[in-house]
Amino acid sequence: MKTTIIHNNSTFQIDLSKPIDISIPLTNDNQNPIAWYQNAPVIEPVKMGDWIGKVSEGKSSTNFNNIFFNPHAHGTHTECLGHITLDFYSINQCLKQFFFTAELISVEPKKVGEDLVITKEQIESALGGNSPEAIIIRTLPNSESKKHLNYSNTNPPYLEEAAAIFIKEKGIQHLLVDLPSVDKEHDEGKLLAHKAFWNVKDVNQVNEDARFNCTITEMIYVNEEIQDGSYILNLQFASFENDASPSKPVLYKIEK
């Protein structure tokens, strides 16, 4: 179903019948990715006395589950600057628009000492002068194991501060990565890429020119069949009043 959309005074044609979901579903088994030293999510029926909220148990007419999870640790999630600030800011209040021009790029992080780092030069080269509203970074190699890894204490790749500054200075508002964080796992709480991207100079008293409407989405997965290039991004998330929410970024190839 092809449709024409008008976005920021530009016209794009996309096919709504061909969504490209780059989120990782949340499960309660060993297939779910994990980060930040947490256990797997828990999805289980409510139990009240001898009543169990599960149709197959024969004691309920409905399936009625409780779910325990951490947005940052258990899969695809979108976060606002409230993730790192003393004052509370909610993703549900910071993000009020949901369609954006986006560029998908593939980058092989560079070895720097014991780390694998995504550099400013790599991002600048891959963008090729484009200035989208959102950038989606697929790291290479791109094994499907990304959808199931336990990232805790593995020192995953991350963005150097200069790369985050470059993305900010390009005016890119939404950063999506297939990593558990844009920052180094053990960085003594510096969070250099987070702070640079959101232009947060002091987490205790946020500056007026901090980027309140900008987001970081982590732990996506972009399979090999999806080509680098320009897309329309529909950034969907649950309406949590929290610094982050589980999310479902969906791409649409620009047809025209």
Domain membership of residue 66 (yes or no) is no
Instruction: Report residue 131 as tokens.
Output: 């200035």
Pairwise CA distance, residues 202 & 108, whole Å:
32
Structural domain tally of the chain?
1
Domain membership of residue 55 (yes or no) is no
Domain membership of residue 190 (yes or no) is yes
Domain membership of residue 64 (yes or no) is no
Domain membership of residue 136 (yes or no) is yes
Q: Tens place of pLDDT for every residue, the chain, 256 residues?
A: 789 989 988 999 999 999 999 999 999 999 999 999 999 999 999 999 999 999 999 889 999 999 999 999 999 999 999 999 999 999 999 999 999 999 999 999 999 999 999 999 999 999 999 999 999 999 999 999 999 999 999 999 999 999 999 999 999 999 999 999 999 999 999 999 999 999 999 999 999 999 999 999 999 999 999 999 999 999 999 999 999 999 999 999 998 6
Domain membership of residue 34 (yes or no) is no
pLDDT tens, residue by residue, 58-89:
889 999 999 999 999 999 999 999 999 999 99
Largest CA-CA distance found in the chain, in angstroms, rounded: 63
The DSSP bridge partners found for residue 9 are none
Domain interval for residue 151: 2-27+71-253
Pairwise CA distance, residues 185 & 156, whole Å:
7
* Beta carbons within 8 Å of 84's beta carbon, 6+ residues apart: 191, 194, 195, 198, 200, 203
> What pLDDT sits at residue 255?
87
> What pLDDT sits at residue 59?
83
> What pLDDT sits at residue 226?
98
Please tell me the pTM assigned to this model.
0.97
> What pLDDT sits at residue 214?
98
What number of H helices and E strands is found in the chain?
4, 17
Domain membership of residue 45 (yes or no) is no
> What pLDDT sits at residue 2?
85
Long-range (24+ apart) CB contacts under 8 A made by 49-54 are none
Domain membership of residue 48 (yes or no) is no
The domain that contains 151 carries what CATH number? 3.50.30.50
